[in-house]
């Protein structure tokens, strides 16, 4: 790639999140913990979610994680936690879908800064298919953990 493309890939926002990741570390309480791996490069993330309420009222109270991987995957995890923590689960899932669309758009999707905030920095990554999976690793882990947390709370409700 050219140095111009390199700069598009590694935007300042990404390097900042890589150097100082937000919400890093594994915390209590949590309802679900998942471990996702990128088998081709070996990137790994262990991620916990803490959700309160249920159904449409469910809120993402906390997302905590322990991750190892490249700058793209680490920065993406940091940005993801900023975007979903404190939001209703339904809204956070909408942001997830928007980020997924951006990443799978091969650089043709214009990101909405209102929704994705620092996440728009990853629009450059979408042009490099080999790196898209780095950016998506923790988002996929978060979605998996959240659905596990929600179905666990559904099951508890049914039993009571």
* Interacting residue ranges for other proteins, rule: CB under 8 A: 1-3, 5-6, 9-10, 15, 18-19, 40-44, 68-72, 74, 131, 134
In the bound complex, what is the minimum distance in angstroms from residue 9's beta carbon to other proteins?
Answer: 7
What phi, psi does 31 have (nearest 5°)?
Answer: -100, -25
Which is closer to other proteins, CB of 7 or CB of 57? Answer: 7
In the bound complex, what is the minimum distance in angstroms from residue 32's beta carbon to other proteins?
Answer: 24
Which is closer to other proteins, CB of 26 or CB of 155? Answer: 26
Which is closer to other proteins, CB of 82 or CB of 128? Answer: 128
Which is closer to other proteins, CB of 76 or CB of 146? Answer: 76
Which is closer to other proteins, CB of 51 or CB of 135? Answer: 135
In the bound complex, what is the minimum distance in angstroms from residue 127's beta carbon to other proteins?
Answer: 13
The count of C-alpha atoms lying within 13 angstroms of the C-alpha of 103, restricted to the half-sphere facing its C-beta, is 22
In the bound complex, what is the minimum distance in angstroms from residue 35's beta carbon to other proteins?
Answer: 14
């Amino acid at each position: 790639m050219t140095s111009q493309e390199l700069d598009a890939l590694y935007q300042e926002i990404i390097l900042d999140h890589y150097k100082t990741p937000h919400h890093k570390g594994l915390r209590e309480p949590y309802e679900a913990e998942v471990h996702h791996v990128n088998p081709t490069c070996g990137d790994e993330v262990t991620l916990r979610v803490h959700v309160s309420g249920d159904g449409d009222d469910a809120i993402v109270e906390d997302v905590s994680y322990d991750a190892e991987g490249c700058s793209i995957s680490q920065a993406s995890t940091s940005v993801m936690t900023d975007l979903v923590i404190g939001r209703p689960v339904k809204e956070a899932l909408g942001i997830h879908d928007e980020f997924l669309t951006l990443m799978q758009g091969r650089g043709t999707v214009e990101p909405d800064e209102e929704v994705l905030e620092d996440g728009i920095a990853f629009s450059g990554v979408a042009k490099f298919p080999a790196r898209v999976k780095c950016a998506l690793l923790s988002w996929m882990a978060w979605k998996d953990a959240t659905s596990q947390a929600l179905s666990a709370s559904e099951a508890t409700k049914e039993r009571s």
